[in-house]
Structure 1
Amino acid sequence: MSLRLRLLLLIGISLSLLWGAVSVWMLRSLDEEVHRTLDQRLAMSAQMVAGLMSQNPAAWDGRKGQPGASTLKMPPMAKSFDCQITSLRGEVIARTPGATLEAVAAVAPGYSERLIKGERWRSYTYEADGLRVTTADRLAERSSLLRNVTMAAVVPFVVAMIGSLIVLWFGVKNGLSPLERLRQALASRAPEVLTPIPEAAMSRDLLPLVNTLNKLLQRMNVTISRERRFTSDAAHELRTPLTAIKTHLQVARITQGKDAAVAMDYAEEGVARLQRTLGQLLTLSQIEGPFSWDDGNLADAEEVAQLAIRDASTNAPGRIVFNSGGKSAQLALPQALAVTALRNLLDNALRHTPAAQGVSLELQSSKDACVFRVRDHGPGLSAEELEMVTERFWRRGSGQGSGLGLSIVVAITERFGGAFELLQRPEGGLEATLRLPSVQSGPY
């Protein structure tokens, strides 16, 4: 169902129900008012006739002319309205021509209803000055009058309601035209066009929506550009070890003895490098993607440090000096990611530190975070290199590694609300500071 039709139905049905309820209430009030007014007419007619009769008793007391003969003659009344005048003894003094006798028969004073020959009559009897005056009319006439009044009220209402719906249709269509222009602007775009939507031609009410769409397009543009660059860099980085592996395997096939063994060693080294790069790429994609890392286990900061030292110093035992200060805390992120981030820092520090020197790791815990500081004794980096060191696949010269280690560290800190800083030490080497949130501050 279109938005235009939905709005029309919603507003139209609401108006119909509202005005229908008002109409029912008005018609019920009209019905009561019509019956009350006609009852008052009966009562006022009877009282008026009784008042006129009391002002001229000679016209009906029978003393003029023959005894018992009345000289009163009543003119014809309105259609379906009968009147009769009797004495309190039951003598008929006068009645309207053609009156229905059962309808005006004397009854107790007040209103009453009777069913006469299949028709309902309503009468009113009034007694004053020795006279009893009864007026009556048919209820069918009242119903006919009420139907005529109802038709006179309903027909304009129905016509006005239909006209309102027609006007409403064009009003909704005109009101939704800015949305239609926005839809056309989006539908006419090529899939690769992510430029902002012009705001000049849009309605003021749609500017928040347009601004939100533009921000979304901007984020999509940044994400797609980053993924394209990542894909290009990944393809380039994976092509190099694959080419080397293929070359060494071809050498091993055409040679024998020591040369073949050396070629196989190089091929195995290339496979290890390729495997490491693929593992880093998989980890990075999981960190930046919708993958859930909620494993339900809390990571102890000191245990994370011990695991990272064990993994990083497999080929260099004893080179990492750890100082925790005797205080630890629970980290607000999965243990696997905390170990990965810290291991990458230790790997870099060991790789660039001379074999005769060690790497120091310091753990400081506070109320809301745990800080790991890794210090090496390597050659350090220039100011320009410090700015590029966290970019993906960046390596200084033809250095070893995949160039993804620090990128993974940055991705982990951004996802869980941590911080990472790399500084040049005055005495030489680098100091990497990894700040991770603890359980007290809660995960981000």
Structure 2
Amino acid sequence: MTEPSLKTKSVRSGLRPRLPFFAVFGPGLVVMLADTDVGSIITAGQSGVQWGYKLLLLQIVLMPILYIVQELTVRLGIFTGRGHGELIRTAFGSGWAWLSAAGLAVATVGALLTEFSGVAGVGELYGVSRAVTLPLAVIALLAIVITGSYRRVERAAIIIGLFEFAFFGVAWAARPHLGSLVHDSLSVPITNTSYLYLVAANIGAVIMPWMIFYQQSAIADKKLTAEHYHAARWDTAIGSILTQLVMAAVLVAAAATIGRHDPRATLNTVGDMSQALTPLLGQQVGRLVFGLGVLGAAFVAAIVSSLALAWGLGEVAGYRRSLEYHPFKARWFYGVYAIAVIGGAAVVGFAPNLISLNVGVQVMNALLLPLVLGFLIRLAMVTLPPAYRLRGWYFWVVLVVCTITCALGVYGGLSSVL
């Protein structure tokens, strides 16, 4: 299907060849900042509470795995010029494309429930009702996307997401014992089903279907070409490291505080984490730092997951989908985004205890991995130009890494019911 022309000044014309990295920089970092969403923060915190530093090494191991997965989306976006859903439809047919879109929709709904629960939780730390915070969040999210081009949305997401770095301050203030940190991180109770369940949750918190859809579609929307491939890979690599360092910081802070004194505690709400962690920085400062971190995570993930759904459904259904279109010329695209945002906030407004589903949502993402990574690897084998296809030793590295990751995610996710 041939798309009508976009705005007169496209993203491609905005790229400056003499500064390729800074022109290309964005999609990888944005999707990685979104990766550390509210559900991921709660999962990392619960990991530190229940198992101390025993899941810390997993956060480091997941860095290269996350890069391998998202780098494939970079290749596909750059060398095919198509989003993930459109590429699946073209290569395998509409039936498989709709199946992939269904998985995306399920993951997006789960993500939005956790993000808006986090927003409501931060408001309640200051005594502000969710009847106030949720509508304000919806207005802000709609304004960011509907009034801006892709580049404006990208910049806004990066600025908001930088608040997540507040968790580094919380981890530093927790003053973890380095000897215990190193010793415990190398002690892995791999036969414990509760441990395996959190392994699955952490894997699902790192590799999510909407991340793959978003980054590939964002690269296509930004009109990146082969000359930008090297810089786009660096963008993704930097993002992979940063997002896992944030996860590690939350885990370390929780392990050094709550886990040390009450390893049986359960972090079901943002308030639970705040009450345990913010005294490290003083009640007022700590609450502000923690609240900004959670809000940054929630807003970026809400933008990315909702846009991923709007892009993904558009690629499968064939409607216009681009942030470079005026809203009146891409009604379905902006409509899906708006429905996702408004619907997520409405559900959280009427069902206030959904934050307790955080870890379960991440496990659900892990159970979707065979479908998500299966499509990704197959696309990289058959749709890319020969020089950039998965082949040789790197093909086997990717296949083995993704197979082990899927196996751990699925087995760990099912361990509690087996």
TM exceeds 0.5? Answer: no
* Bigger Rg, structure 1 or 2: 1
TM-score interval w.r.t. the shorter chain? under 0.3
Q: Which has the higher contact order (CA 8 A, sep 6+)?
A: 2
Q: What is the TM-score with the length of structure 1 in the denominator?
A: 0.16
> When you count strand as a share of all residues, which structure comes out higher?
1
Greater fraction helix: 2
